[in-house]
Amino acid sequence: MKIRAAVLESFGAPLEVQELELAEPRTGEVLVRLVACGVCHTDLFTASGADPSGYSPTVLGHEGAGVVERVGEGVTSLSPGDHVVTLFSPQCRECVHCLDPRTNLCLAIREQQGQGFLPDGTTRLSREGEPVRHFMGTSTFAEATVIPEIALAKVNPEAPLDRACLFACGLSTGLGAAMNTARVEPGSTCVVFGAGMVGLGAVAGCRLQGAERILCVDLSEERLELARGQGATETLVGGPDTVERILELTGGFGADYTFEATGNVGVMRQAVESARMGWGLATVCGVAGKGESLAVVPRFLITGRRVAGSSFGGVKGRDQVPQLVERWLAGEIDVEPFVSHKLTLDEVNRGFELMEAQDGIRSVIDLT
């Protein structure tokens, strides 16, 4: 079938909306008619050329939601008409990692996915007979896409898909960092660095876990106001003295849990140094730039602080994304403030411009 999709032809250049061929799903694959897709920083990170593992030509996009149109042989968990959220972090439910509660990093299709291919080492996207690679196993800047069954979460059809798509990446990453990776305990003190999509999700996750104090740090007063709406009890405009100010607010000890959601290695260091002596846990969610490293003074670790990384919030997608969507539908998570702009596929580059200008939290592309 012919579809329109936003193609990354060369790094640093605008995406080009083109007509491509999308082949039928093969064994274990599903054809999804996409309804909406969020424009995430990871897409911009790859498009800019900053991602050392990036490749082209490829159809970007990974924060998608849509409706199953056709299924390939052997697909048992999904049927035409099902509403789904795409998963760049799949869940096969069979590999050693999927069977272990300590991680969500499924091993089943990781190698091929990282190279831009579906599990059999080929693509379903092409242009004039030449293959176009898939991005993060999803390629959701398109009218339709073919995705492995294990990379789709079936969600409640009552959930509006132009909001549900946020659970495909940013929102679940933040919520899961607090709920799965850090496992925030009731009555605790938390600090979240960054009030973008992931940081606001972490604030909401800390609230859902019963944290007593949630301090959010950001450079934007407007974003800090949004953090209050998600459950932040205190806010702070960031700066070079942020660690000292957090220590003052916590009796000199620091916070039980800190979360970094900026991708800035300097802020990552602040998150570590703001964690409580004795048992503080700093969870790093942001993706740093190419070649950057995090410098931690060893005495911060020797005196009891710990550092954890969190990919997709530790969320096991097929099992847990539907649960998070249900909590949204039940009124426990307020998704509405996150959607700042609605765009068409032809305006995809505008989504990147808005992100770079820090205009709003999330632009969502309407693909209908």
Does 305 participate in catalysis according to the annotation? no
Does 40 participate in catalysis according to the annotation? yes
- Out of 98, 165, 190, 206, the active site residue is 98
Spatial neighbors of 149 by CB under 8 A, at least 6 apart, are 28, 29, 30, 71, 72, 75, 76, 77, 78
Does 341 participate in catalysis according to the annotation? no
- Residue 305 CB burial class (10 angstroms; 0-12, 13-18, ≥19): buried
Does 62 participate in catalysis according to the annotation? yes
Does 213 participate in catalysis according to the annotation? no
Largest CA distance in the chain: 65
Does 37 participate in catalysis according to the annotation? no
Cα torsion for 132, 138, 142, 145, to the nearest 10°?
80
- Out of 29, 37, 42, 189, the active site residue is 42
> So what's the pLDDT on residue 54?
87
- Out of 41, 124, 133, 223, the active site residue is 41
Does 95 participate in catalysis according to the annotation? yes
- Out of 29, 37, 40, 149, the active site residue is 40
> So what's the pLDDT on residue 49?
84
> So what's the pLDDT on residue 45?
87
Per residue in 56-94, pLDDT (tens digit) is 999 999 999 999 999 999 999 999 999 999 999 999 999
Does 134 participate in catalysis according to the annotation? no
> So what's the pLDDT on residue 274?
98
Q: Which residues pair with 17 in a beta bridge?
A: 6
Does 106 participate in catalysis according to the annotation? yes
- Out of 37, 58, 92, 242, the active site residue is 92
- Out of 70, 93, 110, 213, the active site residue is 110
> So what's the pLDDT on residue 290?
78
Spatial neighbors of 102 by CB under 8 A, at least 6 apart, are none
> So what's the pLDDT on residue 177?
98
- Out of 29, 37, 46, 62, the active site residue is 62
- Out of 106, 165, 190, 206, the active site residue is 106
> So what's the pLDDT on residue 74?
97
Spatial neighbors of 170 by CB under 8 A, at least 6 apart, are 38, 40, 63, 196, 197, 198, 201, 362
- Out of 33, 95, 103, 341, the active site residue is 95
> So what's the pLDDT on residue 58?
96
The whole-model pTM stands at: 0.95
Does 98 participate in catalysis according to the annotation? yes
Does 110 participate in catalysis according to the annotation? yes
Local confidence pLDDT in tens for the 368 residues of the chain: 999 999 999 999 999 999 999 999 999 999 999 999 999 989 998 998 878 788 999 999 999 999 999 999 999 999 999 999 999 999 999 999 999 999 999 999 999 999 999 999 999 999 999 999 999 999 999 999 999 999 999 999 999 999 999 999 999 999 999 999 999 999 999 999 999 999 999 999 999 999 999 999 999 999 999 999 999 999 999 999 999 999 999 999 999 999 999 999 999 999 999 999 999 999 999 988 778 999 999 999 999 999 999 999 999 999 999 999 999 999 999 999 999 999 999 999 999 999 999 899 999 999 99
- Out of 37, 165, 169, 190, the active site residue is 169
Does 285 participate in catalysis according to the annotation? no
